[in-house]
Amino acid sequence: MRKYWWKILGVFLIVYSFTMGLLVPLKPGIAYFEPGATQAGKAYEMTITGYNTFYTKATAAPRVWLKYDSVHMLIADRVEVLGDRQLKARFNLPGSLPTEKQVAVTSLIIDDDYNGFAVKPGSVFITADSSLQEISIGKAAWGKTEVSGVHEKDQFNFPYRVQLSETIRNLYYHVPFWFAMFIIFIAGITQSVQYLRTNNPEYDYKSMSFTMVGTLFGVIGLITGMIWAKDTWGTYWTWKEVKMNMTAIALLVYFAYFILRQSFDDDERRARISAVYSIFAFAAMIALLYVVPRMVSSLHPGSGGNPALGADDLDNSMRLVFYPAIIGWTLFGVWLTSLIYRMQMVRERIYDQ
């Protein structure tokens, strides 16, 4: 039993990531609203539909703001709760905007004591009548209130993003495979180096087994990514997304590794050449997956320089599930590796007889 502790740990972490990742609710958010545009100087009545919200459970009616910029915002005169997910908010828009822009895009902010604080950026378009240029009036009217005394929902939940909605959970079922793949490929390359140093065929089989599991994880990462892309970006595959295409190339390089192995009859030559090849493949993968995508713009979060683990992309509640998922899938991958390796060794013994 003692020998199996890391396998049990790996499976436990995976089960944990599935359970937590699927059961924890999303933070209450703003799904949509209408109408999306209005004019300055008019009364604007909007109906708001929330997501995961329970507006009827709030002790006081929610407060609703339209935020123009950090100092100019407007609070709704009247907010009516129509249901758990429905609000009606009425604004008396001043005749002009606080700056001389003809069209303003305001953010929608809702706060109450049960559901907490929700923001939908870039929400309501307000066009100002071009004949009214009284910016000072607009400034005074928009600068009267401020967003203050907001609540934070006292519950463990994942952030709500309009674009992602529930698919934010895919972070635990797509990204960990890339991390695990990377760790497993590193393990594989250390075995390749060991083989070149010692010429012991056991290291060659270990290296091959690690590479096989790493490639499997890469394929899983690519297909799960395609499904997520279909929803978020609207297409399964796009040539404009550099990370996706570079990953496909890197995986092809690794597919070639297995074809290369099959084309040798001499065990020693096969082992030596595939060890050298796997080192080059690893170097190519680093360049393709971790260098090139950072140099150009990409649809993936965190593109254009920094990795996708900034505070904008991952909050602490998600880290609690995301990191265990990485460890779990890595351990699971090592388990699969050991199965392939042991099978290879049995095969060797049969052929030797």
Partner 1 sequence: MNMKKPFSLLTILLIFQGFAQAQADNADFMRSVGKMYVVYGVIVVIFVALVLFLIYLDRRLTKLENQINDQ
**Given the rule CB under 8 A, which residues bind partner 1?**
18, 22, 26, 51, 164-167, 169-170, 173-174, 177, 216, 219-220, 223-224, 227-228, 230-231, 336, 339-340, 343, 346-347, 350, 353
Please report how the helices 5-23 and 171-198 are oriented relative to each other, as an axis angle in degrees rounded to 10: 160
Give the residue with the Cβ less far from partner 1, 42 or 347: 347
- CB nearer partner 1, residue 141 or residue 222: 222
- Residue 10 C-beta: closest distance to partner 1, Å: 13
**Three-state secondary structure of 55-73:** HHHCCCCCEEEEECCCCCE
Helix (H) or strand (E) holding 108: strand 103-112
* Residue number, 91 or 228, with CB nearest to partner 1: 228
Least distance between partner 1 and beta carbon 100 (Å): 40
- Cα 90 to the center of its chain, rounded Å: 35
In whole angstroms, how close is the CB of 335 to partner 1 at the nearest point? 11
Q: 201 near 241, Cβ under 8 Å?
A: no
Our CB check for partner 1 shows the closer of 86 and 165 to be: 165
- What minimum distance in Å lies between the beta carbon of 258 and partner 1? 12
Distance between CA 159 and CA 216 in Å, rounded? 30
- Note whether 328 and 10 are within 8 A (CB): yes
Least distance (Å) from partner 1 to the CB of residue 173? 5
Q: Which is nearer to partner 1, 134 or 166 (CB)?
A: 166
- Cite the beta strand spans of 29-98 per DSSP E: 29-34, 37-39, 43-51, 63-67, 73-75, 78-81, 86-92
Which CB sits closer to partner 1, 150 or 219?
Answer: 219
Cβ neighbourhood burial of 62 (10 Å; 0-12, 13-18, 19+): buried
Smallest distance, Å, CB 101 to partner 1?
A: 34
